[in-house]
Amino acid sequence: MYTVVIPSRYGSTRLPGKPLLDINGKPMVQRVWEQATKSSAQRVVIATDDHRIQAAAQDFGAEVCMTSASHPSGTDRLQEVANSLKLDPHHIVVNVQGDEPLIPPRVIDQVAGNLTAHADAGVATLCEEINAREDLQNPNVVKVVRDSSDMALYFSRAFVPWPRDVEASSNGAQCSDGPWYRHIGIYGYRTAFLHQYVEWPPAPIELLESLEQLRALYHGVRVHVGIACDPVPAGIDTEDDLAALRDALTRKI
């Protein structure tokens, strides 16, 4: 058994009010919640610091947990929810991003199952192969390097691992030379880890790369990285992303 928490903030530089933006008749956060409720999660909770999101979520029947507006990361917000719900230290909490309205329910179950199956891991997450060369150069596409046990060696915005014999840009590299993996931002945690995480100061590498998962690696926590069982569409970050999703859903009707 596990719980899904969907952190949902109103503020967004590129898409203000993103959780409540309409996607063919439903706010974005509702579409994320509906996907999460199709998983095997025992409970699905929307975590927000905004009463507009709270009201909208309650209107479509979601459980809501109000959290502090001062959290520096989504993981800190999850910890507050786990603490408020008095979850058992061994209980698994899956963080589903609030801007992924097409998140496949099977991958939510997958990340929870992977953490259950790997008692030596403190965190579980997912990845998929990179098949577009431009993604290797894109710092917004986070790369992950794994060991032989599917544990993370490192996460980076840089092109890693670096092929030694390629020129000083990825223009000479082909995806077939890899494989390289894109990190998918869904996480499974045990409640005890969340309580531990918020006690650690941000790690130097975390601040440098602006990747909070690096705090776990910095403190020696093993992070299991499975290959996603279903393709995971990228989240909605821009007006173009939003327009493309609306168009795709319209064409499906």
The tens digit of pLDDT for each residue in 52-106 reads 999 999 999 999 999 988 888 888 889 999 999 999 999 999 999 988 889 999 9
Q: What is the pLDDT of residue 11?
A: 73
C-alpha distance from residue 131 to each of 23, 151, 174, 181, 210 (Å): 28, 21, 9, 9, 24
Q: What is the pLDDT of residue 126?
A: 98
Q: Quick check: 64 and 48 in contact, CB under 8 A?
A: yes
Round to whole Å and give the CA distance between 157 and 137.
Answer: 9
Instruction: Show the tokens assigned to 243.
Output: 């327009």
Q: What is the pLDDT of residue 163?
A: 83
Q: Which segments of 191-234 are extended strands (E)?
A: 223-227
pLDDT lower than 50: segments of the chain: 168
C-alpha distance from residue 214 to each of 127, 152, 209 (Å): 15, 10, 9
Q: What is the pLDDT of residue 167?
A: 61
Give the three-state DSSP class for 125.
strand
Give the three-state DSSP class for 153.
strand
Q: What is the pLDDT of residue 15?
A: 77
C-alpha distance from residue 135 to each of 155, 165, 175, 211, 242 (Å): 15, 19, 10, 17, 20
Tell me the pTM: 0.91
